[in-house]
Amino acid sequence: MGLALIIKRLFRKNDTDDSTSTPDKSGREAVDGKKTHTFTDRDVLCKFVLLDNNRIGETISTDSGHLIFKQDAKNLYIPLSSVKEITDENVVVETFDRDEAVKLGKEWQDRTTDTLIFDENGMLIND
């Protein structure tokens, strides 16, 4: 088992996820009213997020028809239908409700990560 997978399992609630070695290749669809866009996780992950030609974050995950990206110390969770364009380096998105995206990003983070607890000597407490 690779070190990256071990570390990921320490921080994930669902430790049956072995997707670190092989990215998801299944097509995902985003419908923007008129067009249906099909893309894979590889198409959108580890790219800069652009809104009005400004970098506002970097993509980190997809989840149930949503794109999660990091902006400073916050995770934002927006619908994939907000994606306008995907290039080699960027994911261009439309205007979205930032407050809702931050709220949903926090819920996603709470749902998908465990908090590590340490004792007074700095040792990890296993529950």
pLDDT above 60 (res 102): yes
Average pLDDT, the chain: 81
Beta bridge partners of 71: 74
Please write the tens of the pLDDT for every residue from 7-45: 656 555 554 444 443 444 445 555 445 556 677 888 899
Proportion of the chain above pLDDT 70, given as a percent:
70
Residue type, 40: T
* Predicted pLDDT of residue 34: 53
Closest CA to 90 of 127, 45, 123, 124: 45
* Predicted pLDDT of residue 71: 96
Does 3.40.50.720 match the CATH number of domain 24-112? no
pLDDT above 90 (res 1): no
pLDDT above 90 (res 50): yes
pTM of the model: 0.66
For residues 56 and 71, the answer to whether their CB atoms sit within 8 Å is: yes
> For the chain, which residues make up each domain, given as ranges?
24-112
